[in-house]
Amino acid sequence: MPDIDVDVSVLSNGLLAESSCLSLGDYIIDLAWSPDTSKLAAVTVEGTVFLINDHGASAAPNLIGQHAGGANALSWRRDGAEFATAGHDGLVKVWDGNSGQQLSAFEAGDSWVAKAVYSPCRNVLATAAGRHLKLWDEQRETLYESSEHSSTIADVGWNPDGSGVAVAAYNGVTLHVPGKQRQPRKYTGKGSSLMLAWSPDANYMATGEQDSTVHFWNVKSGEDAQMSGFATKVLELSWDSSGRWLATGGSATICLWDCRGKGPAGRIPRQHTGHSNKLTQLAFQPDGKFLASADADAFLLLWDPIKNDEAIDELTLSSPTSCLRWGNGGELAVGQQDGTVVIFEVKALA
């Protein structure tokens, strides 16, 4: 597919410098950088799978395959040799990270696969389909499985050392640590958990809830705290690299929670206002200080939120952002509802 011209208007000081702009022709449901940030994989809501082998001026999307009926998510293996996609066809498909060739396709236990997530430390893939969690080895053989969940699984997250995987569903979070537990550990809460995010130090899990709250769990003690007052259900969660700060959406305002010491309970969050409509995406740099946010009016903002209360750059895009993904070298990939992918290089502050 050809590059397209998109009106990206700079409203601030140009810290976000566009390096490429591509059209995938359909709502982008997920994006992911390869571990070395040399490639970008994408899936659309209609199930088309793309591999982008360059993120400079010559970047071009390669259509490599399809999930019948649509796709939900994708994930790269830690070595970049392959990535996996989850589809509405009940299949997980695995693709070669260099050529894009399909390596395998297998059923995950239900007609609709919500997640496929590689471990950060081992070549093990976790899949969620209906109430079924399965872990797969490199030969696509099942290492572990559990259906001990009270509802369809909404989200899956490996802990930072890859020893366990947490599952968000109705009535809270279930933590599976194969080989070290007789039974999965339950972190029970009322309502339905939609999103899950581990802190980088593995001390906390945070969940965004259907009832417009955020739940914090102390992983060791099991103690929890619930933060309310959000305008809508919270689908935006992002930890900074230190594990001290958690950014949350749920409205047009970014809340920044201080999780040091005894955690965020009883603390008033720092609030960053700059958006005039609901946030759609929120992401801290994995190894940096910047935070990117996007809203339903197609604005993209860049923040240095620990030092500054106001955004340090602001752009308008061609449509609202559906995916926001940082690379490891300061690259920021923005997938949009109209099928556009814009890749930015973030310039250093003077």
pLDDT of res. 215: 94
Burial 304-331 (b: 16+ CB within 10 A, else e): bbeeeeebbbbbebbebbbbbbbbeebb
pLDDT of res. 265: 85
Work out whether strand 165-176 and strand 185-198 pair parallel, antiparallel, or are unpaired. antiparallel
What whole-number distance in Å separates Cα of residue 129 and Cα of residue 116? Answer: 9
Query: Would the pLDDT of 40 be above 70?
Result: yes
**Could you report the per-residue pLDDT of 12-39, keeping only the tens digit for each?**
568 999 999 999 999 999 999 999 999 9
Taking phi over 0 as left and psi of -120 to 50 as alpha, with beta for the rest, 261 belongs to left
**Could you report the per-residue pLDDT of 261-317, keeping only the tens digit for each?**
888 888 899 999 999 999 999 999 998 899 999 999 999 999 999 999 999 999 999
Coil, helix or strand at residue 322: strand
Query: Would the pLDDT of 5 be above 80?
Result: no
pLDDT of res. 8: 46
Burial 202-219 (b: 16+ CB within 10 A, else e): ebbbbbbbeebbbbbbbb
Residue 10's pLDDT band (cuts 50, 70, 90): very low
**Could you report the per-residue pLDDT of 152-190, keeping only the tens digit for each?**
999 999 999 999 999 999 999 999 999 888 899 999 988
